A and B are shown apart, each in its own frame.
Chain A
Amino acid sequence: MNNSPFIHLSNARLTLDGRLVLDRLAMEVDRGIVTALIGPNGAGKSVTLRLIDGLLKPDSGTITVGAGRRAFVFQRPALVRASTAANVALALVNMSRRERSMRTDAALARVGLAGRARDAATRLSGGEQQRLALARAWATRPDLLLLDEPTANLDPTSTEIVEGLIAEMARAGTTVLVVSHNLGQVARLAAKAIVLTSGRAVEQGPTRQILFSPRTPETKAYLAGELPWTSFAAVS
């Protein structure tokens, strides 16, 4: 395993609908560990995940992402009106039928949805849907897992299942980048953390250091709950 960062962003700039969303963003995500992306609402965290997954292209700057499979678990799970199993199988279309059904069964069992395989995915509860989305990501054995607030609105049991799965994947070598507002979760899961405010990375380093001895005024304000909702200058 080489030690160069798995993801490297430098000088990334992005405007959406005339608003500057990311401004000279520079950050690195290390291989094979969990990195947390934290910061106030509107700081550009979700957009950063989309840039890394290739769903959005930056106006300028460079984004380097290591080779391999990527999986993205969205804040609101996007499911097709089909069975739970079919929603997992959708991510595995390139495999043989046998491989696909084996992986689907294993993934659903892993998140405690084995008994719901034939049920309609859209009939699952919010927590079950989020677990299903994670099972779908897990089934593809990704090299990079991107998670956008995976446990928002989940009950403690579901949260535990999801966190357990994320930790397990990281132990197995998956690079994980997770956006979260739950600082307890960040402390439990992430080895490193990156703080984003107003579309810029203001601080990055080991989670303990970020949470317990922040160096920048922005991070201090964010952790103290004092950072106002980020407002952006409109780009003319």
Chain B
Amino acid sequence: MQMFSEILSRLWSLDRDVVSIAWLSLRVSVTAVCIGLILGIPLGSFIAVCSFPGRGIAIALLNAFMGLPPVIVGLALYLILSRSGPLGSLGLLFTPGAMIAAQATLATPLVAALTRQVVADTAVHLGEQLRSLGLSAPLQAAAMIYDVRFSLVTAALAAFGRAISEIGAVLVVGGNIDGFTRTMTTAISLETQKGDLSLALALGVVLMSLVVLVNMFASLLRRHAARAYG
């Protein structure tokens, strides 16, 4: 109970720093999810409707990559973006850009795998009709993606949840630089390390609220749209 009131008072006194940290987290994760959607939806649709050699392996890989450990993504990107690495000249290491790249790497397979699943399901009843209408392959894919758009909101939410809550990758490639690459998760970890558990928990409450708010907004959107289009 005492802990609870302490968290409340810490929440009350959270300063501008916390707002900017939350804002950075949101910006990085939303951008990463957008990139994940742009790459993952076409990739997932392609694998769902096109047959090519090695498709079974591609599906298995995709499903496995849904659970890609963030810290491994972080490490791999660190080595790639390091000034001694192949893309070192971009100067992205220890910047929000590197964190976006890391989270997009986590989001893309998740979006692609979920897209593949729902598009494959809808292709069962819609595929023949669309082919019979003589639509080009991209148009067929677009129609099916449109058909499953409400399910893709769920995929986007899952990707967002994964992105905003992960710490392994952003810590390694972002460096947790105060005021520059410090996100909600790295800040929580730092405050825990400093032994300031009530501040860490207060930050955790902010992060949770952020996630809940985004999910509520999306589910409202989904409910409204589903009511109109089934």
Contacts and interface: CB of A to CB of B under 8 A. Distances in A.
A74 B229 contact: no
A81 B129 CA distance: 14
A72 interface: yes
Contacts of A78: 125-126, 128-130
Contacts of B126: 78, 80
Looking at A76, A80, A93, the one whose CB has the most chain B CB atoms below 10 A away is A80
B18 to A, nearest CB: 41
Interface on chain A toward B: helix, strand, loop, or mixed SS?
Answer: mixed
A80 B146 contact: yes
B139 to A, nearest CB: 6
B128 A74 contact: yes
Looking at B128, B132, B147, B149, the one whose CB has the most chain A CB atoms below 10 A away is B132
Interface in B139-175: 139, 143, 146-150
Interface string B187-230: 00000000000000000000000000000000000000000111
B133 interface: yes
B131 interface: yes
Contacts of A55: 128, 131-132
B132 A120 contact: no
A136 to B, nearest CB: 8
B147 A81 contact: yes
A78 B229 CA distance: 15
Contacts of B132: 53, 55, 70-72
B229 A120 contact: yes
A82 interface: yes
A80 to B, nearest CB: 5
B146 A76 contact: no
B208 to A, nearest CB: 33
Contacts of B135: 90, 93
A90 B229 contact: no
A123 interface: yes
Contact of B143 (A50, A70, A71, A90): A90
Nearest to B133: A91
Nearest to A53: B132
A82 B128 contact: no
A101 interface: no
A80 B148 CA distance: 9
A80 B230 CA distance: 10
A154 to B, nearest CB: 19
B128 A80 contact: no
A76 B228 CA distance: 22
A159 interface: no
A122 interface: yes
A120 B128 contact: no
Nearest to A91: B133
A195 B134 CA distance: 29
Interface in A72-95: 72, 74, 76, 78, 80-83, 90-91, 93
Given A82-B146, A93-B139, A76 B125 contact: yes
Interface string B104-147: 00000000000000000000011011111111000100010011
B135 to A, nearest CB: 7
Contacts of A50: 128
Interface of B: 125-126, 128-135, 139, 143, 146-150, 228-230
22 contacts: A53-B132, A55-B128, A70-B134, A71-B132, A72-B132, A74-B128, A80-B126, A80-B143, A80-B147, A81-B147, A81-B148, A81-B149, A81-B229, A81-B230, A82-B229, A83-B229, A90-B133, A90-B135, A90-B143, A91-B133, A120-B230, A122-B229
Given A55-B131, A76-B125, A81-B229, 12 more contacts: A55-B132, A70-B134, A71-B132, A72-B129, A72-B132, A78-B129, A80-B143, A80-B147, A81-B147, A81-B230, A90-B133, A91-B133
Task: List the 5 closest A-B pairs by CB distance, nearest first.
Answer: A78-B129, A122-B230, A72-B132, A120-B229, A81-B229
